[in-house]
Amino acid sequence: MVQTKLNFIVVDDSKLDCFIAEKIIKNTGISESIKSFLHAPEALEYIKSLPGDDSIRTIMLVDIQMPVMNGFEFVEAFEKLPDEITRNYTIYIISSSINENDLSRVHNYATVKQFLNKPLTSNNLAVLLA
C-alpha cells in the first residue's frame, strides 16, 4: 500500500526543535513538503498566501510558548481563516509545558487534534500518522 503524501509545517521558536522535527519528518518518507517557522506570524502569512488545496492534507506542529505570538494566539488567528483553507490542516500542539492550564486549553480549539509532549521522536510521530 502506498501511503498518501502529506505536507508538514513546524512552528517553533527553537531552531533546534525545528531541525529535529524536520529530520524526523523527512525520515518517515511520507512528506511532500516540510516548512518550518521560528515566528508564528510568518507561518500565518504563509498559510494565508496559499490557495486552499483539498487534494493534500497539511500536518502542523505548533509550540506553545513562543514570544511575540504564542501557540494559542496562533491557533486562534488560524481558526479565523476561511474554511476552504483551514479544513485541509490538522494541528498538533507540541510543548515542553507540564502546566495543567496549557494542557486543558488545547481542548478549546476545534482545529487542534492532540497535545504532544516534547521531544518529538520518530516513534510518536509514527503513532500519530498511523
Partner 1 sequence: MDTPKKIKVLYIDDEQNNLNGFKATFRFDYTVLIAANVTQAYAHLNSHPDISVILCDQRMPEKTGVQFFEEMRDSFPEPVRMLITGYTDIESVIDAVNRGHIFRYIKKPWTDADIRSAIEEANKFYLTNTMLVAKNKELQSAYDELGKFAYSVTHDVRGPLLSILGALDLAKNMEDPAELRDILEMMEDAIHKLDEYIKNTHEYYKLKRGLLQFEVIDFNNVVKDIAALFRIAGRMDNIKFISNVVQNDEFLSDEISIKMILNNLLSNAFNYQRKDAAEKYVSVEIVVADNVATIKVKDNGIGIHESHINNIFTMFYRATSEETGSGLGLYNVKDALAKLSGEIEVASVVNEGTTFNVMIPGKANGTN
Stretch that binds partner 1, among 13-21, 43-51, 75-83, 106-114 (CB under 8 A): 13-21
Selected binder of partner 1 within 49, 98, 100, 130 (CB under 8 A): 98
CA atoms within 13 A on the CB side of 19: 3
Contacting residue, 15, 48, 87, 107, with partner 1 by CB under 8 A: 15
- Between the two ends of the chain, the Cα-to-Cα distance in Å is 13
Q: Binding to partner 1 by residue 23, rule CB under 8 A?
A: yes
Dihedral over Cα of 110, 67, 63, 104: its sign? negative
Instruction: Examine residue 104 and tell whether it contacts partner 1 (CB under 8 A).
Output: no
Tell me how many degrees the CA angle 124-43-56 measures, rounded to the nearest 5: 60
Max Cα–Cα distance, the chain, nearest Å: 43
> Interface residues for partner 1 in 78-97 (CB under 8 A)?
96-97
List residues binding partner 1 (CB under 8 A).
13-17, 19-20, 23-24, 38-39, 65-68, 96-99, 118-121
